Chain A
Amino acid sequence: MLRVSEVVKTFYPGTPNEVRSLRGVSFTMEPGSFTNVIGTNGSGKSTMLNAVAGVFLVDSGRVELAGDDITGWTEHQRARRIGRVFQNPFSGSAPTMTVAENLALAARRGMSRGLGWSLSTTLRGQIAERLRSLKMGLEDRLDNPIGNLSGGQRQAITLLMATWHKPDLLLLDEHTAALDPRSADQVIRLTHEIVAQDRLTTLMVTHSMQQAVHLGDRILMMHKGEFVADLSGSQKARLRPEDLLSRFDELRRRDQLTPAVGDMLEKLYV
């Protein structure tokens, strides 16, 4: 279970460049649940995921995972329990190392990394087997440097790496945004399969209203560092992509109104 309580993060505080990226964000995720996060550009979605992953420490608030308060843990400590796939397909793997070597690194997640061989024959077999289950022909490319693979192939492997050992939480930050439509579909299909098979607790940021509506059991909508909507259950089931888009329009209208309203009030009362 993931519990985020009143998390605040401000970048460059006290300077003209101050950005209040998270303004007191709270939510809870049940084990095995799948939550989508949507929101406009710069609304703080990635910042929120990074706060959970420990990329930086939050200014205030708490992050708890599976009963532990992980607020003060470093990124790599949390990574022992959290799997991540990034937006950039190059971020999740080591380009000069082979496909098998990359997956072997993932197979040691949460374990000590000592002087045992990183790629045993057994592990190689397991890797080939899991790659075969992706049905992308990657099991024939075990010894290719991963940098020679396409973005979609790399993203599929990163997904496999993130979930090799069932993580307490899977974080996906627009992991299909940099892919061509066909690869994006393929990676989304894999995501769905893997998450369903292992019943993974998943938090996914997406720009695709389609994905948000069709995947998962809950939608959190972010705006200016806060959640503005939390849709689940039958509410989410009835939702169509158009509904989400109209909500965005509404937010945009309100944004444009607010300063104007302020001006008007000022004129009236000052």
Chain B
Amino acid sequence: MLLLISALNFGLVFALLGLGVYISFRIFHFADITADGSFALGGAATTAMLISGWSPLLSTLGGFLAGMLAGSSTGILHTTFKIHGLLSGILVTTALYSINLRVLGRSNVSLTDSPTLSKSWAELSKICFGDQQRHNLFGWMVGAQDLANLLFLTILVVFLGIGLFAFLKTNLGAAMRAAGDNAQMIRALGASDKVLLIFGLALANGLIALSGSLLAQCQEFADVQMGIGMVVWGLASVIIGESLVGSSRFGVLIAGTVIGSILFRMMIAIALRCGLNPNDLKLITAVFVFLALVAPRWLKALKLKFNSDAVGEADHAQGL
């Protein structure tokens, strides 16, 4: 049960990463690998702010804004300086590695002695539900901190998911979707597709950095390496979500991404529990995303083949 709750919490934290990746990869069709850098940046910026005495709320916001800055840098490199999209992301991520080191001061920093958002909401839930080490959740005993994380992360993710959904229905959000869908069309309607892309990447990386910021606060340390492989992890959530919901409506896809992220974390938790070497995690993830990408195509081919076989057999039967 402990395993489940912690996987659930990780899934919720990484759901924001998934939503960011959803914006850049799916709405803008932009292969934005800035995620690796901005995720760590979110963690680093928040940690640095917490250490120097800022409140958890403002520090988290700071992480989010830092991510937006990183995302807009990638967008500006791509639009204004006409650098290939992937390369823009690589450049910013490379630069961010040094920046993150500077922000953190060294390669990893502990938050054990600092206030964090997760400590604040543990306090808050203590006030609401009483001061116990463990709580009874549907018959399971769950640690107070884990439960507080679960509660507040759920609220936050649901709130942000609905917020993103609502945003995509506004004039600005709709223009962003159109810019990703058909840039020529939105230009012909009097909006700058470049500005929309820059803003979209800013928003995407803001969410990704927020994810990093929350991770740092929940696990109580930040590490400059914490962003490595995040693009693929985010993509995994998006792809699992897509195959789960089987719809192209963005509202459903947003929900799918959140669920995909949680499922993905669960699978990893189970794999680790079954004796998977944590060092192999990234390899397994990459293979997994590869399979998730090609499986739908294989399944379709198989289905077609099966159908045509069936038709063939029916013909054959008729012939007899």
Which range contains the number of B residues in contact with the other chain?
Answer: 20 to 34
Contact residues of A between 67 and 99, Cβ < 8 Å to B: 74-77, 79-80, 84, 86, 90-97
Are A104 and B174 in contact, with the CB atoms below 8 A? yes
Complex contact B182–A109 (CB within 8 A): no
Query: Interface with B: A3-11, A111-119, A233-241, which one?
Result: A111-119
Contact A94 B170, beta carbon cutoff 8 Å:
no
Q: Does A139 contact B (CB under 8 A)?
A: no
| Chain B 278-292 interface 0/1 with A at a Cβ cutoff of 8 Å (1 = within) | 000000000000000
A112 to B172, alpha carbons, bound, how many Å?
9
Question: Does any Cβ of A come within 8 Å of B135's Cβ?
Answer: no
Q: How far is the CA of A149 from the CA of B172 in the complex (A)?
A: 25
| Chain B, residue nearest A112 (CB) | B171
Give A95 to B177 CA distance when docked, in angstroms.
10
Contact A75 B177 (CB under 8 A): no
Alpha-carbon gap, A76 to B179, bound state (A): 12
Nearest-CB distance from A70 to chain B (Å)?
13
Contacts of A32 in B (CB 8 A): none
Contact of A113 among B175, B185, B188 (CB under 8 A): B175
Q: Is the CB of B171 within 8 A of A113?
A: yes
B189 at interface, CB cutoff 8 A: yes
- Known A-B contacts A76-B192, A145-B248; A94 and B171 likewise in contact (beta carbons under 8 Å): no
Main SS class of interface, A:
loop
How many residues on A have C-beta within 8 angstroms of the other chain's C-beta atoms? 36
Answer whether residue B186 sits at the interface, using C-beta atoms and an 8 A cutoff: yes
For residue B178, CB closer than 8 A to chain A, the reply is yes
**B170 touching A117 by the CB < 8 A rule?**
yes
A101 interfacial contact with B, CB 8 Å: yes
Inter-subunit contact A84/B188 (CB<8 Å) = yes
Please encode chain A, from 114 to 141, with 1 for each CB lying within 8 Å of some chain B CB and 0 for all others.
Answer: 1111110000000000000000000000
Asked if A38 lies at the interface with its beta carbon under 8 angstroms from chain B, I say no
In the complex, what residue of chain B is closest to A110 when comparing beta carbons? B190
- Interface residue from B189, B192, B248 paired with A109 (Cβ < 8 Å): B189
Beyond contacts A90-B182, A97-B174: 11 other A-B pairs, Cβ-Cβ < 8 A, are A53-B188, A77-B190, A96-B181, A97-B181, A101-B174, A105-B175, A105-B178, A105-B186, A106-B189, A118-B174, A119-B174
Ranked nearest first, the 5 interchain pairs of A and B with the lowest CB-CB distance are A94-B181, A118-B174, A80-B190, A113-B171, A79-B190
Residues of A within 8 A of B (CB): 53, 74-77, 79-80, 84, 86, 90-97, 101-102, 104-106, 108-110, 112-119, 145, 161-162
Question: Hey, which bits of chain B sit against chain A, CB under 8 A?
Answer: 167, 169-175, 177-178, 181-182, 184-193, 248
Q: Provide a sorted-by-A list of 25 A–B residue pairs whose CB atoms are within 8 angstroms.
A: A76-B186, A76-B187, A76-B191, A79-B188, A80-B190, A84-B188, A91-B182, A94-B178, A94-B182, A94-B185, A95-B182, A96-B248, A97-B174, A101-B177, A105-B175, A113-B171, A113-B191, A114-B171, A115-B170, A116-B170, A117-B171, A118-B173, A118-B174, A119-B169, A119-B174
